[in-house]
Structure 1
Amino acid sequence: MDKTPNGGGGGGGKEPERVVVNGYVLTRTLGQGTYGKVRLGEHVEDGSRVAVKVIEKAQIHSDKHVSRIQREIRFLKLLFHPNIVRVYDVEETPSEIYILMELASGGELFDYIVAHKRVREKEARAFFRMMLSA
């Protein structure tokens, strides 16, 4: 894991950090959750893209939450199914946990439903079949 200033010029403000995790430069934020953010990772050599869940250890307030996160990572690393996001790698620093995952470019089902207000029955059946097969 590499954190370096992101170039830029002049000004008295602090330069933003360029974060590189396992060869992926972290760019824009895709989403945010209880413990941190999900950011887009772009590989410095081949341009491939992944989702990187950045969990801030300072946001984890109990052993119960630590166990839950460890269990989630362990199970996701074991799963291989077309309807389940795949975990490729995990990197840990003293302050963060980085989970490199398959990029689900279609977004989350919840966001889709909210954006469309209503889902046709045929579409709902297709989503339900995908969930059942997972």
Structure 2
Amino acid sequence: MSAGVFGAWTGESVFAAGEVGLMCALGLVLHLFLVRAGRAMVGIVAVLAVGLALHTPQTAAGVVLMAQGQEGSVVVTSVQASEKASGARGRYFCSVESGGEAPSSARIWRGCTQATRPGDVLALVYDPKGLVPPRGIGARRASWTR
């Protein structure tokens, strides 16, 4: 996890994407095999380590946005329903544009609902250094940023 946060913070894509976490997970599982840990122990550690490594990029981006993210307003240009039937049920994606300091264009889902229309204004948290992609702010998390 710390490798992912380091990568997102510094912009190193190898660390931020999670490959380093997967390699650490593989190394840990290999070490457990070499010291003859039980199969159940190795299996549990492998599943947990790979799961954490795969969640690292999203979590690292969230940490960076919490620490150095800035809030800006963006205008919705289009709204599209999710094309996936499973997993993202009821999710809408808004294409947005900014007239200010926020990123000029992005596609977000947080804060974008079925009732959102082109021309609406949404809150967006973005990294001024551009190291991680921006995120919309949902209505229940509007007080999350500074």
Q: Which has the higher contact order (CA 8 A, sep 6+)?
A: 2
* Pair member with larger Rg: 2
Where on the TM-score scale, by shorter chain, does this alignment land: which range? under 0.3
- Higher helix proportion (structure 1 or 2): 2
Task: Give the TM-score normalised by the residue count of structure 1.
Answer: 0.27
- Higher strand proportion (structure 1 or 2): 1
